[in-house]
């Protein structure tokens, strides 16, 4: 059975092909950027070290649900301390578990 379709002049085909390639390339770059997302790291003032020393020398993990005025629009924050590295890590996640943003705070 032959394939039938609309005939397009070569200029239109080239333009549509270029647009399709641009869309696929942008999507690929977006996916690659999400998979190689490096946490954003900031240095805290020295005073934060004194506060964090009260948390002890063991790693801690805490989970906090967040929402704005709509409880159905929930987001979570996972807070982990890494005392040996002097880092407080905060991972923001969507309700479906997708990681939205990671923030690391150095307090050493």
User: Could you tell me the residue ranges of all domains in the chain?
Assistant: 10-106
Range list of β-strands (E), the chain: 40-43, 61-67, 74-82, 87-94, 99-106
Helix or strand or coil: residue 17? helix
Tell me how far apart the alpha carbons of residues 98 and 61 are, in angstroms, rounded to a whole number: 18
pLDDT tens figures, 73-96 = 788 999 999 888 999 999 988 888
pLDDT for 6 beyond 80: no
Question: What is the model's pTM?
Answer: 0.58
pLDDT band at 99 (very low <50, low <70, confident <90, very high): confident
Tell me how far apart the alpha carbons of residues 108 and 98 are, in angstroms, rounded to a whole number: 30
pLDDT tens figures, 11-45 = 877 888 888 888 888 777 766 665 556 678 889 99
Q: Position of tokens 């997302």?
A: 37
């Amino acid at each position: 059975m032959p394939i039938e379709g609309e005939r397009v002049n070569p200029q239109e085909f080239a333009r549509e092909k270029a647009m399709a390639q641009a869309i696929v390339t942008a999507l690929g770059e977006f996916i690659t950027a999400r998979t190689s997302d490096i946490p954003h790291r900031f240095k805290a003032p020295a005073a934060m070290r004194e506060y964090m020393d009260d948390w002890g020398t063991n790693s801690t993990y805490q989970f906090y649900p967040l929402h704005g005025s709509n409880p159905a629009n929930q987001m979570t924050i996972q807070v982990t301390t890494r005392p040996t590295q002097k880092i407080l890590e905060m991972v923001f996640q969507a309700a479906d578990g997708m990681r939205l943003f990671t923030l690391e705070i150095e307090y050493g």
